[in-house]
């Protein structure tokens, strides 16, 4: 058997891989944040009275969900320079992951908003709240409770799918592992070390998600 | 009791409301002086809830006008025509009109206190400290001292409805609308809630109360309005309404209503 524990531990504890893991974390958080912002806007547009707004939102959601994320990334990174649009690696990753995620989150958020009883909106209106305040104070906090479990799934997925950023040369966890592997020709050890990081990150996120859900559920607990 | 004509704080003038071909209100006019308590009775489907919801523009009347303090609700008068108001202006008008719903509609993610201060803080811009003090005083007033930090899910129906009344009162409205406030409550809780409404009446709050509670209509209301088929069928003081021989609709209604 050709497995070197010492190489494995070296990789696992190397600052290089740790930096890659950190890039994966912030890329995931940033992409999810962009996805939440753009996705909320798209969800509200899709529920708007104005048919043009609804059409724009539907078109956006359709287009982004109709193409693979990898294709979107290479178009952004290697395709666009041909027509003079040069984005750096980070811009490509944030735009690609953020806008792709937004298309999926828009549907999640829309479902969450629709699950809130109409009486809640009427009570908010009767108290003199306008649309924005009704959403911010009454609807979205309650929708969050419905949205967080599937949103957590998306976050978990993003931690792993962010490895696609290695294709556009983003120095995240997978690409860092690839480089370590080439350096010492210890391929299995390097990738297993990367896998251990992914396991740690998704497990940690699972715990964070559990706590967020518990906090959102507290007002609804019967005993 | 209904002596004031054209001088009411709330004036409902020839309001019609249809949903497609379905006519729910066909020409309702009602003039409510300040401090008057109007009980609105009628079978389900007679349009009484729709009328209430037109007052704070949760429903837009198909035609007709509603004035609060001489100000048209939900529109602007421009050379005799009514122009639709934008949503923010309607929201501003609703601050003066409190509403209590049959299903309470408390915000379940907020404590009783948070429910009460949400609008004063977010809509009126009151400092949270001041709003909380006022909210505690309101909770006392509806008999719920000590429930400030309870979530709605932990309160009984009667307690929830009393929080909902306190929440509406926190905006210091000119008029209160009650849409069947006790219809989802058992008799004991109904009494708790009616007591609160009765005390508001004693303090001179102007109120429209859609209800099936005949005792309340008889003993607390200054005026009883019976609706039938989208119109006002009877409009009388409680004594005349319940004791004197009135129109057929009222007779028929008293026949099926509670025998009080």
Element (H, E) at A176: helix A173-184
Across the interface, do B110 and A219 touch by the CB < 8 Å criterion?
Answer: yes
* Cβ contacts of B49 on chain A, cutoff 8 Å: none
B10-14, B85-89, B133-137, B140-144: range with lowest mean pLDDT? B85-89
Across the interface, do B109 and A141 touch by the CB < 8 Å criterion?
Answer: yes
Query: B167 or B215, which is more confident?
Result: B167
pLDDT of residue B3: 37
Q: Cα distance from B27 to chain A (closest Cα, Å)?
A: 24
* Cβ contacts of B153 on chain A, cutoff 8 Å: 219-222
pLDDT of residue B139: 96
**Cβ count within 10 A of residue B83:** 10
Interface of B with A in 45-104 (CB under 8 A): 56, 58, 87-88, 91-95, 97-99, 101, 103
Cα B78–Cα B59–Cα B178 angle in degrees, nearest 5: 115
pLDDT of residue A184: 79
pLDDT digits (tens, 9 = 90+) for A18-52: 999 999 999 999 999 999 999 999 999 999 889 99
Question: Minimal CA–CA distance to B24: which of B43, B47, B55?
Answer: B47
* Mean of pLDDT values over B138-145: 94
Cα–Cα distance between B243 and B97 in angstroms, integer? 32
Q: Cα distance from B95 to chain A (closest Cα, Å)?
A: 5
| φ/ψ of residue B27, rounded to 5 | 85, 70
pLDDT of residue A122: 97
Instruction: Evaluate whether B164 touches B100 at the Cβ level (below 8 Å).
Output: yes
Q: Give the confidence band of A223 by pLDDT, cuts at 50, 70, 90.
A: low
pLDDT digits (tens, 9 = 90+) for B69-99: 989 998 888 777 778 888 899 999 999 999 9
Across the interface, do A219 and B108 touch by the CB < 8 Å criterion?
Answer: yes
- Closest residue in B to A140 (Cα) is B109
Whether residue B253 has pLDDT greater than 90: no
Question: Minimal CA–CA distance to A101: which of A51, A173, A153?
Answer: A153
Question: Minimal CA–CA distance to B88: which of A43, A134, A46, A42?
Answer: A134
Show the tokens assigned to B222: 């200054």
Q: Give the confidence band of B39 by pLDDT, cuts at 50, 70, 90.
A: very high
Whether residue B259 has pLDDT greater than 60: no
pLDDT of residue B248: 67
Residue B218 touches partner A, C-beta closer than 8 Å: no
Cα–Cα distance between A186 and A2 in angstroms, integer? 10
Query: B260 or B81, which is more confident?
Result: B81
* Mean of pLDDT values over B222-244: 90
pTM of structure: 0.85
Per DSSP, the residues of B163-182 read HHHHHHHTT--SEEEEESTT
- CA distances to A187, B150, B165, B222, B224 from B208, in Å: 78, 29, 13, 11, 10
Residue A125 touches partner B, C-beta closer than 8 Å: yes
Alpha carbon B198 to its chain centroid, in Å, reads 13
pLDDT of residue A222: 67
pLDDT of residue B254: 65
Query: What percent of chain B shows pLDDT beyond 90?
Result: 78
Whether residue B149 has pLDDT greater than 50: yes
Cα–Cα distance between B237 and B232 in angstroms, integer? 14
Across the interface, do B103 and A119 touch by the CB < 8 Å criterion?
Answer: yes
- Closest residue in B to A223 (Cα) is B154
| φ/ψ of residue B132, rounded to 5 | -65, -40
Interface of A with B in 83-122 (CB under 8 A): 117, 119-120, 122
Show the tokens assigned to B55: 């007052």
pLDDT of residue B85: 85
Say how many CB pairs under 8 Å bridge A and B: 78
Across the interface, do B107 and A129 touch by the CB < 8 Å criterion?
Answer: no
Among A47-51, A90-94, A122-126, B227-231, the range with the most confident prediction by mean pLDDT is A122-126
E-strand spans in chain B? Answer: 10-19, 22-32, 37-41, 63-68, 71-72, 75-78, 81-84, 97-100, 175-179, 206-210, 223-228, 231-236
pLDDT of residue B5: 43
Instruction: Evaluate whether B202 touches B194 at the Cβ level (below 8 Å).
Output: no
Mean pLDDT of chain B: 90
Across the interface, do A122 and B101 touch by the CB < 8 Å criterion?
Answer: yes
- CA distances to A64, A94, A212, B2 from A98, in Å: 11, 5, 22, 63
* Mean of pLDDT values over B249-255: 67
Whether residue A216 has pLDDT greater than 80: yes
pLDDT of residue B2: 37
pLDDT digits (tens, 9 = 90+) for A78-107: 999 899 989 899 999 999 999 999 999 999
């Amino acid at each position: 058997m050709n497995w070197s524990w010492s190489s494995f531990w070296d990789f696992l504890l190397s600052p290089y891989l740790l930096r890659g893991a950190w890039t994966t974390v912030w890329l995931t958080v940033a992409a999810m944040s962009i996805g939440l912002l753009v996705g909320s806007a798209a969800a509200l547009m899709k529920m708007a009275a104005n048919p043009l707004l609804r059409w724009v939102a539907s078109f956006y959601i359709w287009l982004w969900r109709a193409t693979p994320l990898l294709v979107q990334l290479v178009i952004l990174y290697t395709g666009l320079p041909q027509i003079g649009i040069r984005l750096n690696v980070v811009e490509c990753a944030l735009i690609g992951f953020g806008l792709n995620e937004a298309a999926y989150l828009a549907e999640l958020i829309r479902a969450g908003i629709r699950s809130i009883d109409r009486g809640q909106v009427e009570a908010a209106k009767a108290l003199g709240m306008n649309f924005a305040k009704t959403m911010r104070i009454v609807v979205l906090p309650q929708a969050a409770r419905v949205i967080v479990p599937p949103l957590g799934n998306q976050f978990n997925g993003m931690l792993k799918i962010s490895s696609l950023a290695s294709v556009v040369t983003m120095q995240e966890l997978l690409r860092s592992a690839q480089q370590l592997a080439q350096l010492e020709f210890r391929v299995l050890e390097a990738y297993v070390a990367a896998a251990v990081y992914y396991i740690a990150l998704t497990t940690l996120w699972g715990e964070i998600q559990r706590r967020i859900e518990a906090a959102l559920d507290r007002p609804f607990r019967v005993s | 009791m209904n002596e004031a004509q054209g001088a009411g704080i709330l004036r409902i003038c020839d309001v019609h409301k249809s949903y497609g071909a379905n006519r729910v209100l066909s020409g309702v006019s009602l003039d409510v002086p300040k401090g008057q308590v109007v009980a609105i009775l009628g079978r389900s489907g007679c349009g009484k809830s729709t009328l209430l919801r037109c007052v704070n523009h949760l429903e837009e009347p198909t035609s007709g006008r509603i004035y609060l303090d001489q100000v048209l609700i939900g529109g602007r008068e421009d050379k005799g025509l009514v122009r639709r108001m934008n949503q923010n202006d309607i929201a501003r008008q609703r601050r003066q009109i409190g509403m209590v719903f049959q299903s309470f509609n408390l915000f379940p993610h907020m404590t009783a206190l948070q429910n009460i201060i949400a609008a004063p803080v977010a809509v009126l811009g009151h400092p949270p400290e001041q709003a909380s003090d006022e909210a505690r005083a309101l909770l006392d007033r509806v008999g719920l001292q000590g429930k400030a930090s309870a979530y709605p899910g932990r309160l009984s129906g009667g307690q929830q409805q009393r929080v909902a009344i306190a929440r509406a009162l926190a905006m210091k409205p000119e008029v209160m609308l009650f849409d069947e406030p006790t219809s989802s409550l058992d008799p004991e809780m109904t009494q708790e809630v009616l007591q609160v409404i009765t005390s508001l009446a004693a303090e001179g709050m102007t109120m429209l109360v859609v209800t099936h509670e005949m005792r309340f209509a008889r003993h607390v209301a200054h005026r009883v309005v019976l609706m039938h088929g989208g119109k006002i069928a009877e409009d009388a003081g409680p004594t005349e309404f319940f004791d004197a021989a009135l129109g057929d609709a009222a007779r028929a209604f008293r026949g099926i209503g509670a025998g009080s």
